[in-house]
Chains A and B, each alone.
Chain A
Amino acid sequence: MIRYIIGRLIGSALVLLAVTALVFVLVRLTPGDPVGSFLGFAAFHDPRQAAALRHTLGFDRPVAIQYLFFLGRMFHGDLGQDPFTGEPVTKLLAERAPATLELAILTLIFSTVIAVFLGATAATHRGRSRDTLIRVGTIVGLSIPNFWLGLLLLLIFGLYVNGILPPGGFVPLTENPLDNLYHMILPVIVLGLPNLALISRILRSSMLDALARDYIVFARVMGLPERTVVSRIALPNAIIPTTTVVGLLLGYLIGGAVVVEVVFTIPGVGQLMVDSFQKNDYPVALGTTLFIATAFVTMNFVVDVLYAYLNPKIRDLYLGQLRSRDA
């Protein structure tokens, strides 16, 4: 198990390193350099000033050296400064992170709870109208683009049905927890719907798989009530394969959070990121990318380890591979 964890840990670190390198190279691919966007017109009029700034910021060094310097600073917790406001990027991230994390966590809870219910219902009513309804419903739910759904809800609650749910805006959790949750309802629904649809589909099929096993037949023969058979025996077994999907969904969740934050004007990391792209604000763009990539990789790591813990076959398989490679 420890060997597995270490292996995954190294893998995660490599992915993060790859992301930083990629972003770094991309910055260099862009026409013009960051100094131009810091100084604006001044860079045009005074090449000497631009050159001086380039030197202080280290942009006159080779890209590889710059990258190493960036990595070095990063390990000291320094991601540079926002050239527009002069604030450290880490501070901006710390300000914006709570909203994004809250959105992601609430969405995960919301979609998992409902998906378990829907998936189990569909599996136990297999082939009947309820199953078909859930199935078509989940395909549609999976297909409706979340940003469009967000716009529709904005349209409905912002224009036609006033005063029931707030169309956008954000109240910090520390300020007013109830109002905060109230503002989160629409964003969580929008972000959660595709997740919910996907999780319930996977759960349905793994539930069908579990229900066909001998131990279920045995439990029924033992005279256990059907409810117990489904909720205590089939469901726990069906949830194991579902955790992997939840892990994969986290990536979607973070990407989707960017869009949903923009639609509902939630001041999270995603909005900061989109803003920074539009302003060519490289330090902030790099910082937000790194933040989101770290969140993604960390959550994937946790899910993988959890999965290996829940399902010993996986880690044995992995270790078996390692052994055969060593041999």
Chain B
Amino acid sequence: MVHSDPARSTAPYRAPARWVGLARAVGRLLGSLNQNWLTRTGLVLTLLFVMVAIFGPIFAGDPLKLSFDRLAAPSLQHPFGTDHVGRDLLARVLAGARISLSVSLASVVGGLTLALPLGMTAGYFATTWVDEIIMRTVDVILALPLFLLGLVVIGMTGHASTQIGPVEVSPAAKIVVLIAIASIPMFTRVARAATLVERSEDYVGALRILGVSRVTIIGSEILVNVLQPVLVQAFFWMAIAVFAEAALSFLGLGIQPPQPTLGNLLYDARGYILYGAWWYSVFPGLMLSFAIVSLNLLGDGLSDLLDPQLR
């Protein structure tokens, strides 16, 4: 980071543009990815999943197109077979993967936007009443059984859209919001702990003396350094989000058919197991496990890099 020499320069200190710092932090993280086989494998698999989820549906055809080929076994025409109303399972699995990816990304980004400012504020003002209020509030979320809450909220409000005041909340949005809320305690804690370390660094004191506002220090200087441990947690939470969305859909409480998700495909497949339609339950589950395994491997390898003690 190039800081102007404060002794010579008369111009007031200006923080480098925020995206420069962020890009550097992400770059450092990506650079550290290549250091052990666990992260390397995780990275390759995760990228593969992301590619499949983004580009797969473009080539796979219409996931909603019915045909008379009901419960057809895998063939050249339908590599994953077809479902109980003759829809191509490959197209449905790929479309489901895309939903998994978007739900997990959206919920983690949502959780981070709420938790990062909270955690960093708590860390910067640690042991004051600000910290106390933030962390006790977060503890309340942590004390609630999350999967149960998800189940209850969606079970009770139904899987149609819910009208809250003037806002209409779609079922997918409900799931995203729930997972985002669930992720707040973890992200807040990690961000707080990392900020606590950064706060006592010399550069923070120096910036204060230069008259840089606290908001600028937290929002650009500390943020860059806090981002790395937080992003590691983000990968784990993406895995959790993929699982949670699928589990809710599997109970018939998530995003509803005919829109395919990996979870509701398995929900439908349950009824056709004893008809011998193994492909119906095997392929969606494989895709689901693949997504979760890759994200977990990546997160696991990364946390090793950050915490050499556990190695």
Contacts and interface: CB of A to CB of B under 8 A. Distances in A.
B247 A145 contact: yes
A27 interface: yes
B146 interface: yes
Interface string B144-166: 11111101110111101011100
Contacts of A255: 145-148, 151
B148 A254 contact: yes
Contact of B251 (A26, A29, A274): A274
B266 interface: yes
B164 A15 contact: no
Contacts of A29: 156-157, 162, 164
Interface in A260-316: 262-263, 273-274, 276-278, 280, 285, 289, 292-293, 296-297, 300
Mostly, the B contact residues are helix
Interface size band for A:
35 or more
B148 A147 contact: no
Contacts, number: 133
A226 to B, nearest CB: 23
A325 to B, nearest CB: 9
A259 B250 contact: yes
Given A30-B157, A292-B145, A151 B274 contact: no
A151 B269 contact: yes
Given A258-B147, A289-B152, A300-B143, 16 more contacts: A11-B143, A22-B149, A29-B157, A30-B162, A145-B246, A145-B250, A147-B247, A147-B250, A155-B281, A155-B282, A159-B278, A255-B147, A274-B252, A277-B155, A292-B148, A296-B148
Contact of B163 (A23, A31, A262, A285): A31
Interface of B: 140, 143-149, 151-153, 155-158, 160, 162-164, 239, 243, 246-247, 250-253, 266, 269-270, 273-274, 276, 278, 281-282, 284-285, 288-289, 292-293, 296-297, 300, 310
B266 A151 contact: yes
Closest 5 A/B residue pairs (Cβ): A255-B147, A277-B155, A148-B285, A143-B292, A26-B156
Nearest to B248: A259
A110 interface: no
Contacts of A152: 281-282, 285
A88 interface: no
Interface in A172-203: none
Contact of A145 (B147, B158, B285): B285
Given A30-B157, A142-B296, A151 B273 contact: yes
